[in-house]
Every structure is written in structure tokens, then in C-alpha cells.
Amino acid sequence: MQHQPVEQGQLVDQDNFQKVKEEFSSFLETHGHRKTPERFAILEEIYSRQDHFDADALFMDMKSKNFRVSRATVYNTLEILTNCNLVIKHQFDSNNALYERAYGFKQHDHLICKGCGKIVEFCDPRIHGITSMVGELMKFKIDDHKLTLYGLCGDCQD
């Protein structure tokens, strides 16, 4: 079983990325956080990616491009970005968290191949019906969900 990252998701054009930077900037401002070059460099690196990556991959990637960052700052910035909803953090099955950018993309869920580890995205509007109904039934105010399907992809069957 060979796990591999998957390139997927829409591209981010320059206009959208401008909006992302502004959103991050104002979030930092309103929360009393400084606007450091490291934070924006990390944001940029994340938005140039299209896959689900872990903190270390991001760190190594920036190192290889001669950005001078530390793991501590990568983790710190990932947390801030998660808090302001520009990044989504996933705890799939492995020990380490996976992240993906989140601005301007349709809400989606994931399909994971147990054979090769491939991660595929999908959307299904019916999930909203389920969340709102269950929330009402259980007296919860639901504001988020994670749905992950597991199986074998076309290549890994038979």
C-alpha cells in the first residue's frame, strides 16, 4: 500500500489570493496579532498548493524554496489560519493532521482510498439536510461537520 498525495481542487487566481491576504490581514489586526512576513509567506505557500498536506511537508517545502521559517512558526500560523477559516485542519486516520486551504472553495467532503491513500473531494447537498435535522432533534447548534467515506478507488479494486 503506497500512499500518495493528490493534486486536486480549483486554482486560486491572483484576484482571489488578494482577497485572502486582505482577510488574513484584517483578522490579524482585529485580534491583535502582528503582520509578520513569515505569516504571509506561509499563507502564500499554502494557497499555491492544491493538495492535503501536513505541517512538516509545508515546512520542508518552504525550506527547499529558501524561505527561512521554523516549525514553530509554521504550526503557529496554521493555527491562526485555521481560526480565521482560511485553512481547514483534518484529523483523518494517520497520527498527523492534514491541512487544506479553505477560501473561495465550495464546502466539500472526502473520499479516502484504503489501498493507495488517495484523497478525493466531493459535494453532496443532502448533508446539510442531515446536519440541520439532527441538530434540531438533539438540541445542538451545529456549525460544522466532517464526512469521510472509506473504500477502494478504481485503480485499487480487484
Partner DNA sequence: ATCCCTGCAAAGGGTTTGCAGACGC
Partner DNA sequence: GCGTCTGCAAACCCTTTGCAGGGAT
Binding site for DNA (CB under 7 A): 28, 32-39, 54-56, 68-73, 75-77, 79, 95-97
Query: Least distance from C-beta 46 to a copy of itself, angstroms?
Result: 20
Burial (CB count within 10 angstroms: exposed 0-12, middle 13-18, buried 19+), residue 119: buried
Residues 64 to 123: which contact a copy of itself by CB under 8 A? 91-93, 111, 113, 120, 122
CB–CB of 71/28 below 8 Å? no
| Residues sharing a CB contact under 8 Å with residue 67, sequence separation 6 or more, in sequence order | 38, 41, 45
Work out how close the CB of 75 gets to a copy of itself at its nearest, in angstroms, rounded to a whole number: 13
Between residues 8 and 26, which has the closer beta carbon with respect to DNA? 26
CB of residue 127 to DNA, shortest distance in Å: 26
Report helix, strand or coil for 83.
helix
